[in-house]
Amino acid sequence: MKLIIKKNDLFNMPCSKYDNLPNCKFDATKKITIRRNHAKHVSWLIASCKLAQTTDMLEYFKSCKPLAESVSWLIKNCEFARTAKMLKYYKSLSPSAKNVSWLFTNCRFIQTTKMLEYFKSLNSSAENVSWLIKNCKFARTAKMLKYYKSLNPSAEDVSSLIINCKFAQTSEMLKYYKSLKPSAYHFSLLITYCKFAQTTKILEYYKSLKPSANDVRWLITNCKFTWTTKMLEFYKSLNPSVKDVYWLIKHLKFARIIRMLEYFKSLNPPMEDVNWLINNCKFTNE
């Protein structure tokens, strides 16, 4: 297969591997054959040169036995390659669910109901489906959420989906998440990083999970929504350690109140802990 072009026939300036291309006319396919990863370079040539966008060149590309990833890259980067025939060829290479989800996210051409059904047929993991829902607006449907749940995702993955995808921020998804019995720690991540979950009702549910004093201290430190007297009282009810309490006082301005200082003293802290707090927290010196 010959393709005679000039360097300025390329849309993009060649990468470092092509710096030595001649300025006069040359056989592009011949220059490519002397480089490694032949199929990948042919796909780059087709995407980068209008003269290479022919049926014959596509057939030549297929003869190079490309990986599914190279074909998906070409479909994504070259409008000429966005055809039903190329899509059929791509599927014949048995692409991974991960690669199909990548193409879905990056190429509107394949965003069809038919391709979504094909994606499902690849038995993708719950993590991969949640990634697709997060990153591709076309995949944000009630049907896809139902399919996602059918894959038995972990509580952690559902939490991540709710945090990172507004579409999944519904009372129904919150109810589903609770049904997976998340740990207090993972539930605190949801409250901290998702404004949708920052409600009094959710906070009461969190308390029902019997979090440790350390868990509650982490939540109070990282989530402004929990900076309330009620949450501080809940924290104290869990009998936190002396070190846990002075850490909270030192690192959280909200906790630097006389009432918390008195509580700290009531724990009969060792003198070295008292000295540490005095030396590390200006509030205790006032």
| Closest by Cα among 194, 203, 200 to 173 | 194
205 — pLDDT class (breaks 50, 70, 90): very high
Per-residue confidence (pLDDT) for residue 65, from 0 to 100: 92
What is the model's pLDDT at position 283? 53
pLDDT band with cut points at 50, 70 and 90 for residue 50? confident
Tell me 27's DSSP state. E
pLDDT tens for 193-203 read 999 999 999 99
| pLDDT one-digit tens code per residue, 89-106 | 999 999 999 999 999 999
State how far the Cα of 255 lies from the Cα of 246, in Å rounded to an integer. Answer: 10
Helix 97-106 / helix 126-135 crossing angle, nearest 10 deg: 0
39, 70 Cβ separation under 8 angstroms: yes
- On the question of pLDDT at 35 being above 60, the answer is no
DSSP lists the bridge partners of residue 27 as 4
Measured distance CA(139)–CA(101) in Å, rounded: 10
Which among 202, 159, 204 is positioned nearest to 182, based on CA atoms?
159
Q: Is residue 26 scored above 90 in pLDDT?
A: no
Select the more confidently predicted residue: 211 or 16.
211
Cross-strand pairs, 26: 5
Q: DSSP readout, 202-233? A: HHHHHHHT---HHHHHHHHHH-GGG-SHHHHH
**pLDDT at res. 77:** 93
pLDDT at 7 over 70: no
Give the start-to-end residue ranges of the domains of the chain: 1-95, 96-152
Integer Cα distance of 52 and 70 in angstroms: 16
Contacts of 105 (CB under 8 A, 6+ apart): 132, 135, 136
Of residues 45 and 167, more confidence is placed in 167
Mean pLDDT of 185-200: 96
Residue 9 has pLDDT above 70, yes or no: no
Q: What is the pLDDT of residue 79?
A: 95
Which of 71-80, 234-243, 247-256 is the least confident region? 247-256
Phi, psi of 3, deg, nearest 5 = -145, 100
Quote the mean pLDDT of the chain. Answer: 86
Predicted pLDDT at 24: 64
Mean pLDDT to the nearest integer, 254-262: 75
Per-residue pLDDT tens digits for 113-146: 999 999 999 988 999 999 999 999 999 999 999 9
| 39 pLDDT more than 70 | yes
Give the pLDDT score at 14: 47
How distant, in Å, are the alpha carbons of 6, 13, 20, 21, 83 from that of 16?
A: 17, 9, 8, 10, 31
Distance CA 218, CA 79 (A): 50
32 CB-near residues (< 8 Å, 6+ apart): 38, 41, 42, 45
pLDDT exceeds cutoff 90 at 208: yes
* Gyration radius of the chain over CA positions: 29
